[in-house]
Structure 1
């Protein structure tokens, strides 16, 4: 079986080592991105919710860019939110800054009780750019 084609952003976060996972894996023309949270470089949560959501999107964008993608290439997004009743509208308002123009990717939002100290997580599947014929 071939090894996974993992994608790591330039500033690798401590969470990937600590929890033994790859930020993203390329497979069959797609990029499967692990859930991204608003973690600081040392892996700790950004305490402010709005800053945490923005940092999660910045971390996601760094992985997408490393694979030659942008959020415009995202096909499907899943977000996980702790206490969505009190925070979802605020989070979704911030997400709009990163979401881009319509048509938007498919999206699923899931309310959860625990995200290892975080309050927001986003995972996506993106279409990789077509190889340039040369």
Structure 2
């Protein structure tokens, strides 16, 4: 008999991701929580228009909703993966501003990938995360 110990969470504050083939957050047995890529989206998952900086801010707002959906916050994030369409160094200022607004000087490890495109037309930025659930929440 197979036992699925994962806890899948799709917070009501975010669009239903299952038609797109993923879940917003998955807690593994123990302490790790994996949050799928979040982007500037509406209630249906359609990308919202906006410049790069606006999309970065909205993506981090969506990440916050996903974390809150599993009882965590930015202080629990240990790793980020960020994806920037047509990356250039000019976009680092907007990303840095968003990161420092949410993490202060306690920044998580991060890998930034410049990409030609993302999953849906109009997406300019996406962020995924790995968080650690405190031992008091296990």
TM-score w.r.t. the length of structure 1 is 0.87
Two-structure CA RMSD over aligned residues (Å): 1.8
SS in 2 for 1:61: helix
Aligned to 1:94: 98
Aligned to 1:26: 27
Pair 131,2 (structure 1): closer, same or farther in 2 beyond 3 Å:
farther
- CA separation in 1, counterparts of 2:33 and 2:7? 10
Aligned to 1:57: 60
Aligned to 2:13: 11
Aligned to 2:86: 83
SS in 1 for 2:135: coil
Structure 1's consecutive aligned runs of 4 or more residues displaced over 6 angstroms after TM superposition are none
- CA separation in 1, counterparts of 2:137 and 2:25? 22
Pair 64,46 (structure 1): closer, same or farther in 2 beyond 3 Å:
same
- CA separation in 2, counterparts of 1:2 and 1:22? 19
SS in 1 for 2:43: coil
- CA separation in 2, counterparts of 1:47 and 1:36? 15
- 1:131 is aligned to 2:136: yes
| Count of residue pairs the alignment pairs up | 131
Q: 1:65: how far off?
A: 0.9
Which deviates the most, 22-31 or 83-92? 83-92
Structure 2 unaligned blocks of 5 or more: none
Of the three residues 36, 39, 45, the one matched with 1:37 is 39
